[in-house]
Amino acid sequence: MKANLGMADKVVRILAAVAIGILYFMNVITGTTAIVLLIVAIILVLTSLISFCPIYYFLGIKTRKKSIES
């Protein structure tokens, strides 16, 4: 697993997960929609923490800048 998420992408994913969490705890979203969105939020947080998105991998997308190797 090679990291393919940049910092901006991670921040956006975390903010989206937080927004979903707030909507859930304020009872704005309920039922099946809430469950599906909470699962999406968990996936967003996990991919942010490990800096790897499987969908990006299969699509060949990399938002992480290449590091300079000596």
**Position 2 in a domain:** no
> Does residue 68 have a pLDDT over 80?
no
Tokens of 23: 């909507």
Report the domain count for the chain: 1
- Residue 2: Cβ within 10 Å count: 8
Residue 67: the pLDDT is 66
* CA–CA gap between residue 63 and residue 7 (Å, rounded): 8
The amino acid sitting at 14 is I
**Position 29 in a domain:** yes
DSSP H or E stretch at residue 12? helix 7-25
Length of the chain: 70
Report the percentage of the chain scoring pLDDT > 70. Answer: 94
Residue 66: the pLDDT is 78
What's the pLDDT tens digit per position in 26-47? Answer: 999 999 999 999 999 999 999 9
**Rounded to two decimals, what is the model's pTM?**
0.86
Which residues span the domain enclosing 39? 7-59
**Position 52 in a domain:** yes
* CA–CA gap between residue 52 and residue 63 (Å, rounded): 10
> Does residue 19 have a pLDDT over 90?
yes
